[in-house]
Amino acid sequence: MLLKNTYNEFIKIVSKPRSYLGFGALTLLISIIIFAMKADGESIVSFVTASFEQTLSFNGKLVNGNLIAFIILQMLVVHIPLLVALVTGDLISGEAAMGTIRMLASKPISRTQIVLSKFIAGAIYTLLITIWLGVLSLLVSHWVFGSGDLIVLNSDGLVILPEADILWRFGLGFCVAYLALMTVATLSICLSAFAENSIGPIVATMAIIIVFTIIGTLDVTVFDTIKPYLFTTHMASWRSFFEDPIPYDDIIQSIIVLIVHIVVLIAITLYKFNKKDITS
């Protein structure tokens, strides 16, 4: 029954026009970024590298597919949660708003299976969005700009990664980015179990991300103890794969925090949905 309903949930997702908004928005945004970098990328990169040019000389093609893919990821990972929440935040509350929750919950499928099938379908959708992001950012930027070494500027300085040492970093980076997006998806599904309308959980998810991000960036001592436990603190940990050496301990800690969030949010959703009286 779980598999059958997961298939149902996936059919519902792919049949909704809003599910394609994410793919469309990503395509548009990446096209704009690639166009902008093609038009003015050299001067932007020169501006960044200017401060190093007294001590270093840069040879070769700095504006290449790897750099563009990294810039795209950097810019979009902040916005993709909204595109994910747009679909996953509607998975339970959308049924309540439409009235179909009555028919669904009066069938011989347990409420736990209903929630889990929605979670799995949401996870597949999030995976497809992440893959689309990867395909567009890596393949298209390589096709337009060609390949080359990657120069990354972080808080410790400039990291230069050889061309042959990059692809696997992107692969693992996407995996961690997917885990971060899954946390967002699970949060919005959880909020969806508490709501009877589609918009509420989507707005609430974004509000939580914004508030947690602000708390994470504020340099206030009182927040220092909670910062490591906020999922937003770990949403950009995919970037750690582009450091040298890679801080594996930090990455593992981020993965643990994100997984704990996912498990706890699923548990809350299951508890709430199983106890819920369906009166809509």
Of the candidates 6, 12, 28, 138, which has an alpha carbon nearest to the alpha carbon of residue 83?
Answer: 28
Note whether 100 binds other proteins by CB under 8 A: yes
C-alpha separations of 53 from 23, 60, 212, 239 in Å: 39, 14, 38, 25
Q: Does 16 bind other proteins (CB under 8 A)?
A: yes
Shortest Å, Cβ 13 to other proteins: 11
Which of 48, 98, 159, 211 binds other proteins (CB under 8 A)? It is 98
Minimum separation from the CB atom of position 10 to other proteins (A): 11
Is 237 within 8 Å of 253 (Cβ atoms)? no
Q: Considering the complex, state which of residue 117 and residue 130 has its C-beta at the smaller distance from other proteins.
A: 117
CA nearest 202: which of 9, 12, 21?
21
Residue pair 183/258 in contact by the 8 Å Cβ criterion: yes
CB of 276 to other proteins, least distance (A): 9
Q: How far is the CB of 99 from other proteins (least distance, A)?
A: 3
| Binding segment toward other proteins, per CB under 8 A, in 15-23, 34-42, 135-143, 200-208 | 15-23
108/4 Cα distance (integer angstroms): 12
CB of 17 to other proteins, least distance (A): 7
Does position 102 interact with other proteins (CB under 8 A)? The reply is yes
Q: Rounded to an integer, what distance in angstroms lies between the CA atom of residue 90 and that of residue 94? A: 5
If the CB atoms of residues 104 and 172 are measured against other proteins, the closer one turns out to be 104
Residue 12 or 272: the one with the smaller Cβ distance to other proteins is 12
Binding residues among 153-172 for other proteins as defined by CB under 8 A: none
* Amino acid at position 8, single letter: N
Examine residue 105 and tell whether it contacts other proteins (CB under 8 A). yes
Q: Is 57 in the site for other proteins (CB under 8 A)?
A: no
Element spanning 6, H or E: helix 2-15
Which of 78, 139, 264, 278 touches other proteins by CB under 8 A? Answer: 278
- For residue 265, CA distances in Å to 118, 172, 185, 258, 268 come to 13, 24, 10, 11, 5
| 112 touching other proteins, by CB under 8 A | no
Q: Please measure the distance between the N-terminal and C-terminal CA atoms of the chain and give it in whole angstroms.
A: 24
Helix (H, G, I), strand (E, B) or coil at 102: helix
# binding residues, other proteins (CB under 8 A): 26
Amino acid at 125: Y
Structure tokens that stand for 71 in this block: 């810039």
> Can residue 24 be called a binding residue for other proteins (CB under 8 A)?
no
Binding site for other proteins (CB under 8 A): 1, 4-5, 7-8, 11-12, 15-17, 98-100, 102-110, 275, 277-279
